[in-house]
Amino acid sequence: MQNITAHEYEKFVALIYDEIGITLSEQKQSLLESRFYKRMTHHGLHSYDAYYDLCLSDYSEKMEMLNLITTNETYFFRERDHFKFLKEYLVNYDGATKVKIWSAAASVGAEAYSIAMVCDSILPANKWEVLGTDINSHVIKKARMRLYQLPWSEKIPKELRQKYCLKGKGKYEGMFLINRELAKNVRFQTNNLLEPNPDLGVFNIVFLRNVLIYFNDATRKRVIENLLVNMRVGSYLIISQTENLNGLDISNLEQVDASIYKVVG
Ligand SMILES: C[S@@+](CC[C@H](N)C(=O)[O-])C[C@H]1O[C@@H](n2cnc3c(N)ncnc32)[C@H](O)[C@@H]1O
């Protein structure tokens, strides 16, 4: 395999930062070298520079390259306290309109379907909807398939697992499928958190968990300000318990719990 030069790597680092806000460390260099090398040879190219130029001129290859960068670790009912908060919110919800919830860095959909299970166990199907978005088109495809390895179901509370998960048979042995009816209220699409997207609509609650960690302060602030376009006074923002918004100086967010913020006037 051909080595990537420091200069070539720097060019990719700058492009990736501009596109998705992720700052790559030097430690990632050998990992990316092998991933980029595969794409480079796939296109019959002979240098990383040529592959970089292809990413600039070909949008779909650029997105393919960005798919190689993201870390997509996730699981069902990650950080259980947030689902307790969600349950309480839904039980007390007396608004006339549908409750809309956004899983804004959804990965393969475990977070969005966990949210959906809680919603459906409390509200009628016509009173809630969930949107899952991610920059990575591969994970969005997987999320739409709603098919997961069976061990992933262990984190789902038993009564929800029994109601919403179907154990695979035959060629789906060792897997489980999310109930089709539940999935009707869950949509997935690609979206870049670096850009505001008013077309997504307005949400009661936005889950933005385990993604801020990849961004520097300027990008974190930009991402939160973009999300505020899709929130109103009284909406909630939930980040991971391992993250914080310290020092971002966002005046219309009031912290109501360690990792939960409310939009105030
Ligand atoms: C570690 S996963 C978090 C999944 C889920 N929220 C959770 O907490 O389990 C982070 C996700 O953020 C996505 N991501 C990274 N940069 C992004 C960006 N600029 N816009 C949208 N999604 C992004 C990645 O593709 C990845 O799937």
**Does domain 6-67 sit in CATH 3.40.50.300?**
no
- Gap between the Cα atoms of 237 and 204, Å rounded: 9
State residue 149's pLDDT score.
98
- Spatial contact of 119 and 91, defined as CB atoms under 8 Å apart: no
Ligand 1: does its nearest atom lie under 6 Å from the Cβ of 209? yes
Are β-strands 99-103 and 128-134 bridged in parallel, bridged antiparallel, or unpaired?
A: parallel
Atom number, ligand 1, closest to the C-alpha of residue 134: 22
Are β-strands 175-178 and 147-149 bridged in parallel, bridged antiparallel, or unpaired?
A: antiparallel
Give tens-digit pLDDT for 77-123.
999 999 999 999 999 999 899 999 999 999 999 999 999 999 999 99
Ligand 1: does its nearest atom lie under 6 Å from the Cβ of 259? no
Ligand 1: distance of its center to the CA of 209 in Å? 8
State residue 123's pLDDT score.
97
Are β-strands 99-103 and 175-178 bridged in parallel, bridged antiparallel, or unpaired?
A: unpaired
Ligand 1: does its nearest atom lie under 6 Å from the Cβ of 206? no
Ligand 1: does its nearest atom lie under 6 Å from the Cβ of 223? no
State residue 167's pLDDT score.
97
Atom number, ligand 1, closest to the C-alpha of residue 78: 9
Looking at residue 24, what DSSP letter applies?
A: P
State residue 1's pLDDT score.
86
Ligand 1: does its nearest atom lie under 6 Å from the Cβ of 135? yes
Question: Which structure tokens are listed for 2?
Answer: 């051909």
Q: Do domains 6-67 and 80-263 have the same CATH topology?
A: no
Give tens-digit pLDDT for 51-81.
999 999 999 999 999 999 999 999 999 999 9
Ligand 1: does its nearest atom lie under 6 Å from the Cβ of 82? no
Ligand 1: distance of its center to the CA of 132 in Å? 11
Length of the chain: 265
Atom number, ligand 1, closest to the C-alpha of residue 110: 9
Q: Whose CA is nearest to atom 3 of ligand 1?
A: 210
Per-residue pLDDT of the chain (265 residues; tens, 9 = 90+): 899 999 999 999 999 999 999 999 888 899 999 999 999 999 999 999 999 999 999 999 999 999 999 999 999 999 999 999 999 999 999 989 999 999 999 999 999 999 999 999 999 999 999 999 999 999 999 999 999 999 999 999 999 999 999 999 999 999 999 999 999 999 999 999 999 999 999 999 999 999 999 999 999 999 999 999 999 999 999 999 999 999 999 989 999 999 999 999 7
Sheet arrangement for strand 260-263: 186-190, 128-134, 99-103, 203-208, 231-239, 260-263, 253-257
Q: Give the residue, out of 70, 102, 114, 140, with the most ligand 1 atoms within 8 A of its beta carbon, to mutate for a pocket test.
A: 70
The domains of the chain are located at 6-67, 80-263
Ligand 1: distance of its center to the CA of 74 in Å? 9
Are β-strands 165-167 and 175-178 bridged in parallel, bridged antiparallel, or unpaired?
A: antiparallel
Ligand 1: distance of its center to the CA of 65 in Å? 15
CB hemisphere CA count around 170 (13 angstroms): 0
Ligand 1: does its nearest atom lie under 6 Å from the Cβ of 79? no
**Does domain 80-263 sit in CATH 3.40.50.150?**
yes
Q: Give the residue, out of 135, 216, 225, with the most ligand 1 atoms within 8 A of its beta carbon, to mutate for a pocket test.
A: 135
